[in-house]
Each structure stands twice: as C-alpha cells, then as structure tokens.
Amino acid sequence: SIFRFYGGELESWEEMAEEEIRKSNYGGFSGYEEHKNRNRADEVAGKFFKIVAGRLHDLLKENDFDLLLLGGPRQHVDGLHAAIHPDLDQRLAGTFTVDPATTTPANVAEYCEELAAAHDQGHEEALVERLFDTARSGGLAVLGLHRVLEAANQKAVDRVIIQAGRTSPGNQCSACSWLVDHDVASCPACGEDMRKVPDLLDALSDVVRASGGSVSNVLAETPLAEDEVGALLRYAVRVTV
C-alpha cells in the first residue's frame, strides 16, 4: 500500500499490491517465496520492486511530495530502496521494518510520524548550523532581531529562521511596511505614519514572504534559541548595529 500524509492525517493513497502484480503476469510474489524457489522468487521480487518504484516515481511527478518513507520486511525495504529513482532517494526520510501480516494503518502512521519528526529535527539542526557557519565566516547571513529587520527592510532576506520563545512588539510603517524594533515618530524610509505591531516576528514573516523569501520556524533545540532569529540573505546589506 502507498499511504500519504495529507493535512496531518495518514490516508491510503493507493493499493497496488497483489492484484496489480498478478495483472502484470509476474505471478504471486509470496507464493514463490513459500515454494522456496529462490531464483524465481528473486526475479519476481525484482520485477515487483521495479513496478512499485515506477509507480512511486509517477506519483512524485504527478503531485510532488517532500518525504518518502519505506516500510515492510527488511529485504523488501532494501530491494525497493535499491530500485527507486534518484529523485525519490533524495526524498527518502527513513525506513522501518514491519510485518505486513500484523501491521495496521495505525502502526504505519506511528512509524511515519516518528520518522518524519526525526527527519524534520535533523533538517532544522542542519539549517541552523548553516546559518551560524555562514554568519561566522562573514557570509550572507545575519543574526538577531535588529539585523534581520534591517535586512528584511532592504528586501534582502532569502530565508528567515525563527526560534523564538517570546513575542516582541515593534512598529511598522502603514504605507511601506518598514519594520523597526524601537519607537520612531515617522517611517525612516518614507516618512509616513508608523503603527504598533504586537509581534514583530509575525510582521517580519509577512514582509519576508511578500519579498519572495521563505520562513522557517525551528522547533528543535538549537543554538538559535539565544538570538531567536537569523536570516540567510540574497545579497549583502548595510546594518547599523
């Protein structure tokens, strides 16, 4: 079975087990195993893996997905893994070993949630590491709310990375959306009136998205907790602090 996560729920995406294989004239996979006809079973298994791998690749092309998890008996997982397209391998977030005879969709959901969470955490840690490495080496990155706001005001933020434990209020220009973390009488950029914003990081996220950048919220424990926010930049900006 091919399952997919959709809106936080695991749902059956496609059933393509035995019926499809039988239709393809390759015979029953498990039947051959039972008969201990090793060579024939391996051949059938190889074709089976190719079919499943091909179908997964079609699904990827039809509706792009982010993560792929493979589960089943170890030999099937390894066999299928060996057969998948490099584009699928890139999305492979983990594998798990289960006995299909006793596994329920709820078990599968549990394995998938665990693996996806572990994958996300690793991904977040790597992202924060890249941010710090880039900032430390004087590359295109800034750390701390003040610097990130200045970069965002100059539309230089490619990706803002947020790990904040609290909200900080600030001010935003009602005309050009310029953001500042202190009180000013009028917009430093265009001179229009400023208005209070209760959560600067919220307003920052909107400004970054509006200028074509992306927003990553980090949930894992990382060193970013101290600075709360950092950004990878598109080009160098002048910052005042």
Q: How many residues bind Zn ion (CB under 5 A)?
A: 8
As measured in angstroms, the least distance from the Cβ of 178 to Zn ion is 4
Contact code string over 168-187 relative to Zn ion, x by CB under 5 A: -----x-xx-x--------x
Pairing label, strands 194-197, 214-217:
unpaired
| CA–CA gap between residue 185 and residue 197 (Å, rounded) | 15
Least distance in angstroms from the C-beta of 205 to Zn ion? 19
Rg, C-alpha atoms of the chain? 25
Residue 48 contacts Zn ion per CB under 5 A: no
Of 26 and 178, nearer to Zn ion (C-beta) is 178
Q: Shortest approach of Zn ion to residue 230 CB, angstroms?
A: 25
Could you tell me the smallest distance in angstroms from the CB atom of residue 51 to Zn ion? 59
Residue 36 region, left (φ>0) first, then alpha (ψ -120 to 50), else beta? left
Cβ closer to Zn ion: 96 or 178?
A: 178
- Rounded CA separation 76/45 (Å): 8
At closest approach, how far in Å is the CB of 168 from Zn ion?
Answer: 20
Q: Residue 230 contacts by C-beta under 8 Å, 6 or more apart in sequence?
A: 128, 131, 132, 135, 141, 142, 143, 144, 148, 160, 161, 224
Return the range that interacts with Zn ion (CB under 5 A); candidates 21-29, 116-124, 148-156, 167-175: 167-175
Alpha-carbon 241 to chain mean position: 33
Q: Does 232 bind Zn ion (CB under 5 A)?
A: no
Question: Do residues 93 and 67 make contact, with C-beta atoms less than 8 angstroms apart?
Answer: yes
Q: In this chain, which of 118, 190, 210, 236 binds Zn ion, going by CB under 5 A?
A: 190
| Cα–Cα distances in angstroms (integers) from residue 144 to residues 186, 210, 212, 218, 231, in the given order | 24, 21, 21, 15, 9
Angle among Cα 203, 179, 219 to the nearest 5 degrees reads 40
Distance CA(150)–CA(233), nearest Å, equals 11
CB of 238 to Zn ion, least distance (A): 18
Tell me whether residue 176 or residue 210 sits nearer to Zn ion (CB atom): 176
x/- letters, 116..155, toward Zn ion (CB under 5 A): ----------------------------------------
Residues in contact with Zn ion by CB under 5 A are 173, 175-176, 178, 187, 189-190, 192
